[in-house]
Every structure is written in structure tokens, then in C-alpha cells.
């Protein structure tokens, strides 16, 4: 996995570029920016541990939802997640989403307000 720090003179913000896992075959490379916050790190850690994904990308999209009525009241961020894993073989879309949601259940209380998911097997990702 490649990482790169990016500095903006007016605001210093650190980003990680998440790319295709070494040795992953038949999977398109991913290059999404991940805003390095504790929640994003925890989400990625749990998914890596449970699924050993071929590709994993997470993007904090909270800035696009800052005027969302429930965002201030509920707290937590908005995230977009892409996971490509052999572990999804034989599972339907709902089963995959339920699996991911069960891994992150405690984070939904105050760390995650919304999570969009694209969950695929390596064959589906081609």
C-alpha cells in the first residue's frame, strides 16, 4: 500500500492514497483519498482483519453533507467504502452489507452517520 502526505499552505491536512493490495490479481487499482481520522482508520482496520480484501478504499465525504439536518444532531461522519474480497463469494448484496455493518455496529452510535458501500468479489470488480 502506498501512502503520501499532502500539505496545503493554508490548511494542513494529511491524506493517504489507498491502492491495490500487492499480489492482487484481476482487480482494478484503486486510488481514493482517505482522510486520516480515527474513525476511518478503525473502519479500515476492522475490514482488513475480517475480510483480507484484495482492494479496500474509504473516503470521508462528510464535507459534502455538512448542511445535512441530522449531521450536527447525530454527529459522526459520512463515508464511502469500496471493498473487493474473495470473502463475498456466495453472498448477496444485502448479506455483504449486513456483514460490514455488523463489523462497525458500535461506530454507528456516534462515529458513523452514513456509510455507502460498494462490495464486490474480484470477478465482479473486473
Per-residue pLDDT at 75: 67
Per-residue pLDDT at 66: 66
- For residue 105, being part of any structural domain is answered with yes
Rounded CA separation 54/121 (Å): 9
Query: Which parts of the chain sit beneath pLDDT 70?
Result: 1-36, 65-75
| Alpha helices in 16-104, H assignment, sequence order | 38-51, 69-74, 93-103
- For residue 1, being part of any structural domain is answered with no
Find out whether 112 and 79 touch, Cβ atoms under 8 Å. Answer: yes
- For residue 107, being part of any structural domain is answered with yes
- For residue 49, being part of any structural domain is answered with yes
- For residue 2, being part of any structural domain is answered with no
> What residues make up the domain containing 19?
15-76+92-120
pTM across the whole model: 0.68
DSSP state of 97: H
Per-residue pLDDT at 71: 53
Per-residue pLDDT at 30: 44
Amino acid at each position: 500500500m502506498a501512502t503520501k502526505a499532502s500539505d496545503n499552505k493554508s490548511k494542513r491536512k494529511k491524506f493517504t492514497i489507498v491502492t491495490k493490495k500487492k499480489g492482487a490479481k484481476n482487480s482494478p487499482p484503486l486510488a481514493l483519498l482517505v482522510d486520516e481520522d480515527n474513525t476511518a482508520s478503525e473502519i479500515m482496520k476492522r475490514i482488513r482483519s475480517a475480510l483480507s480484501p484484495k482492494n479496500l478504499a474509504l473516503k470521508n465525504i462528510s464535507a459534502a453533507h455538512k448542511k445535512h439536518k441530522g449531521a450536527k444532531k447525530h454527529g459522526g461522519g459520512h463515508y464511502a467504502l469500496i471493498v473487493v474480497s474473495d470473502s463475498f463469494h456466495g453472498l448477496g448484496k444485502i448479506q455483504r452489507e449486513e456483514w460490514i455493518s455488523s463489523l462497525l455496529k458500535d461506530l454507528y452510535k456516534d462515529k458513523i452517520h452514513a456509510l455507502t458501500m460498494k462490495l464486490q468479489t474480484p470477478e465482479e470488480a473486473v
